[in-house]
């Protein structure tokens, strides 16, 4: 496995319920880099995240994606996770009967591989330390996964899972939605603690405020299923100040209304 991770997306096209949403996405995310994708609703941001993770609802019709030089699209969802890809979901699922701690320990052991499982006591010590750093009540470890959690608690729990699994490439799909400013800072601190050459990050967000706490190296704008503009953090600030209409006008893009959650 390469020492510096790399996710490379080339001319990716994908459909949802027979409707083409991604129309040729090109993007490379490497270790040590933070990329942010912004854009209006219905332009394909969440479709990109779900397609990369292998959600069965999303059909990749053409293009290539590689993770550390290996064909990501040929991997099953669990193989993608074991190879270091992580998705923090916009709407995390609730799973009754499975405790938070058991879920994360099983996921970590699956990634580490047979014969390299983490001892139970060591795992629980490390988990409690990580929970404290994210201001998550340690009693949540024994609660069922996300069951009864508030929106903010679910989002912090996603970052906790990322912290435990230490992926090579992580995708955060609107992790900031529904968070107040204090929760946003806590989530950002958890993400920033992982930054380094062995970790690449792709953030999908509508708002520039998250990028004040997780400062991106690259900002991309997605419209009509493709990336239409890339720049530095100043691009995000310009979008926050001016919206998207000026860019649509400049590029000759007309508004589209999508009938699916993309």
Q: What is the CATH number of the domain that holds 238?
A: 3.40.50.300
Q: Would you state the structure tokens that stand for residue 34, as one six-digit string?
A: 């933070």
| SS3 call for 157 | helix
Q: How many CB atoms lie within 10 A of CB 255?
A: 11
Q: Would you state the structure tokens that stand for residue 135, as one six-digit string?
A: 């201001």
The pLDDT assigned to 134 comes to 86
In the chain, how many domains are there?
1
Residue 223 to residues 135, 177, 205, 248, 256: CA-CA distances in angstroms? 36, 20, 13, 9, 9
Picking from 171, 173, 205, the residue whose alpha carbon sits closest to that of residue 39 is 205
Picking from 257, 62, 3, 48, the residue whose alpha carbon sits closest to that of residue 173 is 48
For residues 112 and 82, give the distance between their C-alpha atoms in angstroms, rounded to a whole number: 8
Residue 179 to residues 14, 116, 153: CA-CA distances in angstroms? 30, 36, 9
Buried/exposed 158-176: b ≥16 CB within 10 Å, e otherwise: bbbbbbbbebbbbbbbbbb
Q: Which single residue is written with the structure tokens 């992790």?
A: 175
For residues 83 and 187, give the distance between their C-alpha atoms in angstroms, rounded to a whole number: 24
Residue 37 to residues 13, 130, 143, 194, 252: CA-CA distances in angstroms? 17, 27, 33, 19, 20
Instruction: Assess if residue 64 is contained within a domain.
Output: yes
Each residue's pLDDT tens digit in the chain (262 positions)?
Answer: 558 999 999 999 999 999 999 999 999 999 999 999 999 988 999 999 999 999 999 999 999 999 999 999 999 999 999 999 999 987 888 899 999 999 999 999 999 988 899 999 999 999 999 999 888 888 889 999 999 888 888 888 999 999 999 999 999 999 888 888 888 998 999 999 999 999 999 999 988 889 999 999 999 999 999 999 999 999 999 998 999 999 999 988 876 544 445 6
Element at 212 (helix H, strand E): none
Instruction: Assess if residue 69 is contained within a domain.
Output: yes
CA 179 to chain centre: 16
Instruction: Assess if residue 156 is contained within a domain.
Output: no
Instruction: Assess if residue 153 is contained within a domain.
Output: no
Instruction: Assess if residue 155 is contained within a domain.
Output: no
Domain that holds residue 85: 6-95+167-251
Instruction: Assess if residue 76 is contained within a domain.
Output: yes
DSSP symbol at 196: B
Size (the chain), residues: 262
Picking from 45, 52, 49, 10, the residue whose alpha carbon sits closest to that of residue 27 is 10
Picking from 225, 217, 233, the residue whose alpha carbon sits closest to that of residue 26 is 225
Q: Which single residue is written with the structure tokens 């999303």?
A: 58
């Amino acid at each position: 496995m390469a020492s510096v991770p790399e996710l490379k997306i080339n001319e990716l096209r994908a459909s949802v319920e027979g409707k083409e949403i991604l129309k040729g996405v090109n993007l490379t995310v490497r270790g040590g880099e933070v990329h942010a994708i912004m854009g209006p609703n219905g332009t394909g941001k969440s479709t990109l995240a779900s397609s990369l993770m292998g959600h069965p609802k999303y059909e990749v019709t053409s293009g290539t994606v590689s993770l550390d030089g290996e064909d990501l699209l040929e991997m099953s969802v669990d193989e993608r996770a074991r190879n270091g890809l992580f998705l923090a979901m916009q709407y995390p699922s609730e799973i009754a009967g499975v405790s938070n701690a058991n879920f994360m320990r099983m996921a970590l052991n699956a990634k580490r591989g047979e014969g390299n499982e983490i001892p139970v006591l060591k795992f629980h010590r490390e988990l409690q330390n990580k929970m404290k750093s994210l201001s998550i009540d340690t009693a949540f470890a024994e609660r069922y996964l996300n069951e009864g959690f508030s929106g903010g608690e679910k989002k912090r729990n996603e970052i906790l899972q990322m912290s435990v699994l230490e992926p090579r490439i992580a995708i955060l799909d609107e992790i900031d939605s529904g968070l107040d400013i204090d929760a946003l800072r806590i989530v950002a601190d958890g993400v920033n603690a992982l930054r380094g050459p062995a970790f690449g990050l792709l953030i999908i967000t509508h708002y520039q405020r998250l990028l004040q706490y997780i400062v991106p190296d690259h900002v991309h704008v997605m419209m009509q299923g493709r990336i239409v503009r890339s720049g530095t953090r100043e691009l995000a600030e310009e979008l926050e100040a001016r919206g998207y209409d000026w860019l649509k006008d400049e590029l000759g893009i007309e508004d589209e209304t999508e009938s699916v959650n993309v």
